[in-house]
Amino acid sequence: MSEYPSIEELPSAFAEADAITYSVNPDGSVPEGVKYVLDHKLWKNLPAVKAGRTYPIRYTEAATYRQAMMTLDAIDESFAPLLKQ
């Protein structure tokens, strides 16, 4: 599921989320708009964030089969730490 709430809606939109993903650039850097959210106190107070259950995902705007495969690989990479728990 993908959701794009306003910054003010973060507490209600993600209060019950077990984990939260966010988009990063293909090189892993954080886009300015995403950085704004990650630096915001409303983000930092979310239960999933406090629990360390946030996961950056590269290639989130796949338009071709090859790009979609890159997205799936990026998801596997981001969630790999969960396999160790």
- Average pLDDT of span 4-20: 91
pLDDT at residue 63, rounded to an integer: 86
At 20 the pLDDT is 93
pLDDT of residue 84: 80
Q: With a threshold of 0.75, does the pTM exceed it?
A: yes
Mean pLDDT of 20-31: 93
CA 2 to chain centre: 10
Residues 45-64 pLDDT 10s: 999 999 999 999 998 888 89
Interior/surface letters 32-43, b for 16+ CB within 10 angstroms, e for the rest: eebeebeeeeeb
Contact 77, 85 (CB under 8 A): no
Q: What are the distances in angstroms from CA 15 to CA 45, 47, 79?
A: 9, 6, 21
The predicted structure's pLDDT at residue 1: 52
